[in-house]
Homo-oligomer: A and B are copies of this chain.
């Protein structure tokens, strides 16, 4: 059940923030309703009243984060397509930096969640939706650029898949391996190889 059905958004927003902090601080393996309750300074009973399980709470958190992502970029329609594209890729590289936790902590936890996704249909559907939201933002910016004549006539979907993959792969290399500087390398190479070609 959703907290919004019960007492408006305040408790829901509070629990989402606490869940985000808990996920960033402890990772997926040690994430629990008990820790979220402690982080929110609420009773375990309250958290259990709103969420049936750890997975239920994580699902709500993923939905919450994608709404946050969408609203962050909803106002960018007036920006040039290349700036919109850069802003989304910057987000993929360095993350939300929400509520006092840096993006690396979030993406490290997200990597753990993704490792469960092949075995968990519900989780995979949600993570896919979030991934598609990011890819679609990039594809939309590229499509606008092509339609406006600002970009070369590239395939928006394919180019978006490529760019998001490159930044996603570079970030995950840095967060899970000893590979400092890979994000900077990927972003610089994107300027060199893709944006220089893309922008006529």
User: Which residue of the partner chain, among B115, B124, B170, B176, contacts A165 with CB atoms under 8 Å?
Assistant: B170
Closest to A192 in B: B154
Chain B residues with CB under 8 Å of A124's CB are 176-178
User: Which residue of the partner chain, among B161, B178, B186, contacts A161 with CB atoms under 8 Å?
Assistant: B186
Contact A118–B166 (Cβ < 8 Å): no
Contact A178–B125 (Cβ < 8 Å): yes
Chain B residues with CB under 8 Å of A170's CB are 161-162, 165, 169
User: Which residue of the partner chain, among B157, B166, B168, B172, contacts A162 with CB atoms under 8 Å?
Assistant: B166
A131 at the interface (CB under 8 A from B): yes
A128 to B178, CA, bound (A): 6
A126 to B178, CA, bound (A): 10
Contact A176–B118 (Cβ < 8 Å): yes
